[in-house]
Structures are given as C-alpha cells and as structure tokens.
Homo-oligomer: A and B are copies of this chain.
C-alpha cells in the first residue's frame, strides 16, 4: 500500500470543488468539506474524502439533492423534527444539531430527529459542535442494512453509530463514537482490499455460519452486532442498534431496518419505502443545567487521570480515553498532512477528470 500525503488545505479545497460542481451553494460546500476533512484529520479514513465519489454517484442518481430546502416540520420548545429534503447528510446534520444547541441555550436541552437525509459523515463531528458550547453532545444515525440481529441471517440493521461527547478541562473532549456492530464496515473494507481474514465474531455467511472471510459480506453474509454471539451479549449490540434505528427513523419518519436506502448507488432503494430517506438523531444538554461547568470539567479531568493511570496487563499499553487517539491524529495531521492511500487518490483524480475540475 502506498500513501500520498496532502495538506489539510489542499484536500479541503479539492473537496469543496467537488461539492460546488455538484451544485451545492458555497456555504454548503464548505460545511460538507469541513465534515469530511474532520474525519480524515481524526484518522477515520473510511469516512472522509474516501467517500467523496460515493456521494457524487448518489447525486448522479438524483438520490442526493444539492440544493435542498432543509426545514423544521414539527417542534416543541426542546424537540424538533427536520426534513432534510434529500440533501447531503453532511449539511443536514449540522443544521439539525444547531437547532438542538439553540434550544438548549434557552431551555437547558434540545433534541432533534431528522428524516429524508443521507450519510452524515462521522457522528463525532456533530456531537463536538455541542461540546464547543459547553454542552454534552449526542449524535446517531441509521445506515444501510448490513447487520443481522441475534439468531438471524438477514441484514436488517446498519452499523448504526452512536456518539456521546463531553467537554473536559485541561484534556481533549471525551468522545465515545462507535458503530454498534462488532466491527465497523470500514474495517471490513480494509480487510477486503488486503484480502486478509478478519477475527471470528465480525461476520457470518449467508446461512449464519461464523466466518473469518471478509468477502462473505458480498455473498449474502452479514455483519454481527457488538457482542458477536448470544453468549457474549450480541443481543445488547442488537438492542443498541435498534435504539439508534428507532430514535433516528421511527421517531422522525425516515426509513428504518431493511428499508434504509443503501449508501452504494448501484443498489436501488426499496420500492416500498416506509419513510423518507435515512434518519439521524441529535441532542445537546447544557452542562450548567446540572452543575457549574467548571466543576464538571474538573471532575472529568480527574476521571481521565484516574483511567489513564490505571494498572495495565501489558506494560506497553495504557488505558485509552475515548476520543484520545482521534485527537492525537488531528494534532499530528494538521501539521504533517493527511496520508491518503493510492487507490483513493486515483479514484479522486478520476472523479476530478469526470467532473472537469482540478485534481489533487
């Protein structure tokens, strides 16, 4: 595998050019690029510019609307439902999170469900918007069906991530941002590209037999929920994924379960949808709605220090604070640039050629 390293600025400008070419308004193109770049900066390479041509293909199929009329369709003082008008999730999600934050400023908390949206990038980006305002941020989304619930061999759920983000004092925010499957699809894709086996417990074949072959997923197989099997709590991973699906879609009026439109443009969405697009769910709670923010941050710093200094099994490995590795990546990549694997670079340059814009 060969990597090419690009500056943040270079990748950002390229990404903006792509979204502008799709017809996005300038502010939307900048925002969408910011969400994708945040993912690359934080080391979550599967959710950054590597997905750009996927978004473009959905737009070509008219499944993404570059000029959506994103709007609130239902609300109370602290809750709202947003219709994303088939826009980029990268734009719709920050719109919705801003509403949650504005409500929290006035009433202490704000909660927004979103329908008729598309893939929103990394959940952490949106939750961190709340953290910047001294709030706790919550962010989740449903996704293309790839995961089978416990006892089943049918793909009925997405890798449905949930994210909780908390502001600390002298440390980076604590960010729990996780797929509710045993392994994120991005990890499978890496193993597929390298043609390497995956650990038992990530994947089953089409008949529900445990498998270490990452290609099973293309052959009717499915991902397994966090916990992998019943003995190890896969019903909990399934329950968490169900929670994300219900909050994101049953609550908002989006598609849920096997009806969620696939991210890949070569698969058609269900001919009989149960809702509109895919769904997200966001929340913001003011820390000082519970206790003074400084007290919270001091105690979270103490929490972090206690866990960082925990006794470990292998002296070379310390306990990781959720969000710490991503923060470290971000500091490093802002300075040293972002390495992109050559297949992605080639894909992006072909995309540029097709769109008639300057490549990387």
Contacts and interface: CB of A to CB of B under 8 A. Distances in A.
Q: Indicate the member of A151, A202, A238, A275 with the most B CB atoms within 10 Å.
A: A151
A338 B153 CA distance: 35
B313 A256 contact: no
B108 A108 contact: no
A307 B211 CA distance: 23
B303 A245 contact: yes
Interface size class of A (residues with CB under 8 A): 35 or more
Interface string A213-254: 000000000000011100111011111101101110011110
Interface string A300-325: 10110011001111100111101000
A81 interface: yes
Contact of A232 (B74, B201, B208, B285): B201
A174 B81 CA distance: 21
Contacts of A239: 176, 178, 322
Nearest to A77: B107
B236 A178 contact: yes
A169 to B, nearest CB: 11
A242 B176 CA distance: 8
A304 to B, nearest CB: 10
Interface string A173-209: 0101011101100000000000000010110000110
Interface in A231-289: 231-233, 235-240, 242-243, 245-247, 250-253, 256-258, 274-275, 285-287, 289
A294 interface: no
A5 interface: no
A19 interface: no
A120 interface: no
A76 interface: yes
A235 B320 contact: yes
Interface string A141-160: 00000000111111010000
A152 B319 contact: yes
Given A109-B111, A182-B232, A302-B274, A253 B291 contact: yes
A113 interface: yes
5 contacts: A79-B286, A79-B290, A109-B111, A151-B317, A152-B319
Interface of A: 74-81, 107-109, 111, 113, 136, 149-154, 156, 164, 166, 174, 176, 178-180, 182-183, 199, 201-202, 207-208, 226-228, 231-233, 235-240, 242-243, 245-247, 250-253, 256-258, 274-275, 285-287, 289-291, 295-296, 299-300, 302-303, 306-307, 310-314, 317-320, 322
Given A81-B291, A182-B227, A208-B313, 6 more contacts: A78-B109, A78-B289, A80-B289, A150-B319, A176-B239, A251-B287
